């Protein structure tokens, strides 16, 4: 079995029933993807699987054969990260990678998202520190910056 992670092919020796989250964090040392709830409810473990947002805690390694996984480390998120900083949308930072991955996917599909579009795209992400208004505002700023 092989899978592509952040543009590089890997041939995992791990059991196909290993969670993708565990493979990324423990085998590949890609620790930007976090484990929050382990049940697909919080969004801390979001990655892109063939371009679609998925909870890596719910995906088994065997499901990723011949597929492409993109983690927070593999996306060009600088404009989004800068917007989060400017808008004060980061506090503890634990949930931030999941929000960034979700925002990145949204902005790839829709460069002009409305606040409703942003809220819908972030529906699977939880933050216990900051208000969601700052996160929505940050994604709006990122969308504007990406247009330039």
Residues 92 and 45 in one domain: no
Sign of the C-alpha dihedral computed for residues 2, 71, 43 and 139 taken in this order: negative
Residues 12 and 54 in one domain: yes
Residues 66 and 22 in one domain: yes
Please report the pLDDT score of residue 139 as a whole number. Answer: 98
Residues 83 and 142 in one domain: yes
Expressed as residue numbers, the domain containing 123 is 78-147
pTM (2 d.p.):
0.95
Residue 30 to residue 36: CA distance in whole angstroms: 15
Please report the pLDDT score of residue 129 as a whole number. Answer: 87
Residue whose C-alpha is closest to residue 104's, from 132, 81, 86, 130: 81
Q: Which of 33, 58, 74 is the last residue of a domain?
A: 74
Please report the pLDDT score of residue 148 as a whole number. Answer: 83
Q: Which of 51, 74, 97 is the last residue of a domain?
A: 74
Q: Which of 13, 43, 74 is the last residue of a domain?
A: 74
Residues 62 and 82 in one domain: no
Please report the pLDDT score of residue 18 as a whole number. Answer: 98
Q: In total, how many domains does the chain have? A: 2
Please report the pLDDT score of residue 131 as a whole number. Answer: 77
Residues of the chain with pLDDT under 50: none
């Amino acid at each position: 079995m092989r899978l592509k992670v952040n543009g590089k092919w890997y041939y995992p020796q791990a059991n196909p029933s290993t969670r993708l989250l565990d493979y990324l964090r423990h085998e590949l040392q890609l620790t930007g993807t976090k484990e929050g709830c382990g049940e697909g409810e919080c969004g801390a473990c979001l990655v892109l699987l063939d371009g679609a947002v998925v909870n890596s805690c719910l995906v088994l390694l065997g499901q990723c054969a011949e597929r492409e996984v993109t983690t927070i480390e593999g996306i060009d998120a600088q404009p989004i990260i800068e917007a989060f900083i400017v808008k004060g949308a980061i506090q503890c930072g634990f949930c931030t990678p999941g929000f960034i991955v979700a925002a990145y996917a949204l902005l790839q599909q829709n460069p002009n998202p409305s606040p409703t579009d942003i809220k819908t795209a972030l529906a699977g992400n939880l933050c216990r520190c900051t208000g969601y208004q700052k996160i929505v505002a940050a994604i709006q700023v990122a969308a504007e910056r990406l247009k330039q």
